Structure formats: structure tokens, C-alpha cells
Amino acid sequence: MSEGDATSGEAGGEGAGEGRAVFFVSDRTGITAETLGNTLLSQFEAVRFRRVTLPFVDSAERACAARERIDAEAERSGCRPLVFSTLVDPALRRVVASCRGVFLDFFDAFIQPVERELGMAYARAPGRMHGMADPARYAGRMDAVNFALATDDGAGVRHYGQADVILLGVSRCGKTPTSLYLALQFGVRAANYPLTADVLEGGVLPAALAPHRAALYGLTIAPERLAMLRAARHPDGGYAAISACRAEVRRAETLYREEAIAFLNTTAMSIEEIATTILQHRGLR
């Protein structure tokens, strides 16, 4: 059925330059399937992938439709798609497993040893991971998001007594996205307070922070990286100048040391790495 010639068929998806097809199949959001699949795919940098997520595959009809879509792609590209699945229902799993892709299901791989060890069968209830299965935990995460927004960038200091952690740092070192990630992913209440040029020239801990010393956690960053991040946002003016960045970072680190505030260099770190390092250091996980 393909209009391509035999050579392009043999070369396969990634050889032909269009990339290997990858499907993430889930009965709910697809977030777990994407996390699992992408963790594996990130180990193959030389290969280009074309990703398709098929979420909410929660009926026999939708499972058949998913299989057909995968098979059509296999037919079209002449190459087996990779299929990462987190289908809770074994019947739906069997339908998609009969596709012409390489079918890798998370429950197939792991549920049996866990069942055996716990001495019981699993619930087969879809969507527990990223759904509302635990309303108290969910409400805690939403409260933490509201807390992070209400205490972003030095606002709402009157709420600092409720903070699990208060992040300090110069502008653009990663305070706000880290606070939001701590809230959304872990339900941790993170405030953040900017060390402005004015604060840093004074060289003393702002009075608003003094009563909350135990919750303070500093972020620092290489001045060169900081200058790059600032220039991307406000290219003109002194804000992104390397001299300003160097002076601010030096003063911030001096303040952390003088005040015995633990701090972390975020230069080469993602917000996920910053957030999990803070949780680890503070025993918040």
C-alpha cells in the first residue's frame, strides 16, 4: 500500500529522516506512559522520534482504534513503532498488545511481582496516579500552589510562618519556577524572596526574614549563566550586564555564608533537580 520504494521502506523511519514513531497509550492522562517512555528514549540521543500520545483509551472501541492507528503507522513507515503502555485493564492491554509495534506495558512488566509480594490482586482501577484518588493529598497540592503564588517574589511575608521552605536568590536564578514545581509536584509550601541589588548592598538579612531563619534556603548561579538568562528577558540596560551579575552573586553568597544559610548552585540544574535537592537537604520528601 505504501507509495515509497523498497529502499525507503527498508531504511525505516529514523533512517529515512522522519523519525521512529512512538506511541504512548494510557487509559487516563498518559503522563505516566510519557514519563516512562521518554526516560528510555532519552538514552538514545542519535535517534529522532515522532511521539504520539493516545490518552483516555478506556474502552474496547478505543483500544481497537489505538491498535489500528499503530498498525497504519507501521504499514506507512515500514518500521515497527515503539508502544509504551500503562493500560490497567488486562483486556484492553491484550487488544493493543496485538498491534504491529513493539509493545511495552508497564503493568505487564511489574504488577505480578508486586501482587505476589503483597499477597493480593491489584485493583484494576484506571487513573489512580494522576487523578483525584487521594483528595486530601490533591487539596494539599492545590493549597501549596495558592501559597506559592501568594508568597511569590517577596509578597505575603505575613504567611511565612506556614512555609516549608523560603527560597532566596537574585533575580532570574530560578526561585519562582522551583517554588511552583515544589507545590505542584510535591505539595510543598515554598515561598520565595528576591535578593535585590538594594538588599544586597545593605549586606544584612531583611527584617522580614529574620523570624523564619530555619526555613531559609539560598539559590546561587554562575554570573555568566545569570547574564544569559537576564539578557533573554531584558536585553537592554544594566540588569543583564555581567558586572552587575557578578556583584550580585558575590554579595548573595557572602550573605548566605555570614548568615549560615544553606545554599545551592543551580547553574547546570533543571527545576526538577533543584526541587528534589532541596527536598533531600531539608528532609521534606
Indicate the SS3 state at residue 151.
coil
Among 60, 122, 210, 262, indicate the residue that binds a copy of itself (CB under 8 A): 122
Among 63, 66, 70, 82, indicate the residue that binds a copy of itself (CB under 8 A): 82
CA neighbor of 84 nearest in space, from 27, 29, 37: 37
Asked if 20 interacts with a copy of itself (CB under 8 A), we say: yes
Segment interacting with a copy of itself, rule: CB under 8 A, options 2-10, 45-53, 65-73, 248-256:
45-53
CA separation for the pair 40, 94 (Å, rounded)? 23
Among 60, 72, 91, 133, indicate the residue that binds a copy of itself (CB under 8 A): 133
Segment interacting with a copy of itself, rule: CB under 8 A, options 1-9, 32-40, 66-74, 158-166:
32-40
CA separation for the pair 205, 199 (Å, rounded)? 8
Give the number of residues written for the chain: 285
Asked if 173 interacts with a copy of itself (CB under 8 A), we say: no
Indicate the SS3 state at residue 196.
coil
The C-alpha cell that represents 130 in the structure block: 494522576
CA neighbor of 274 nearest in space, from 146, 167, 196, 184: 167
Sheet bearing 216-220, strands edge to edge: 190-194, 165-169, 216-220, 263-265
Helix pair 90-97, 60-77: axis angle to 10 deg: 20
Among 1, 6, 118, 136, indicate the residue that binds a copy of itself (CB under 8 A): 118
Asked if 7 interacts with a copy of itself (CB under 8 A), we say: no
Burial of 80-97, coded b for 16+ CB within 10 Å and e otherwise, reads bbbbbbbbbbeebbebbb
Amino acid at 99: C
Which residues inside 211-240 make contact with a copy of itself, applying CB under 8 A?
232-233
CA separation for the pair 283, 249 (Å, rounded)? 27
Asked if 55 interacts with a copy of itself (CB under 8 A), we say: yes
Among 60, 72, 91, 109, indicate the residue that binds a copy of itself (CB under 8 A): 109
Among 91, 138, 202, 234, indicate the residue that binds a copy of itself (CB under 8 A): 138
CA separation for the pair 73, 199 (Å, rounded)? 59
Asked if 59 interacts with a copy of itself (CB under 8 A), we say: no
Asked if 243 interacts with a copy of itself (CB under 8 A), we say: no
List residues bridging with 189 in a β-sheet. Answer: none
Nearer to a copy of itself among residue 12 and residue 206 (C-beta): 12
CA neighbor of 180 nearest in space, from 168, 192, 172, 169: 192
Among 2, 4, 44, 262, indicate the residue that binds a copy of itself (CB under 8 A): 44
Q: What is the CA radius of gyration of the chain?
A: 25
Among 75, 201, 224, 272, indicate the residue that binds a copy of itself (CB under 8 A): 272
Instruction: Please tell me the count of residues contacting a copy of itself according to CB under 8 A.
Output: 75
Which residues inside 179-198 make contact with a copy of itself, applying CB under 8 A?
180-181, 184-185
Nearer to a copy of itself among residue 145 and residue 241 (C-beta): 145
Asked if 111 interacts with a copy of itself (CB under 8 A), we say: yes
Asked if 208 interacts with a copy of itself (CB under 8 A), we say: no
Asked if 80 interacts with a copy of itself (CB under 8 A), we say: yes
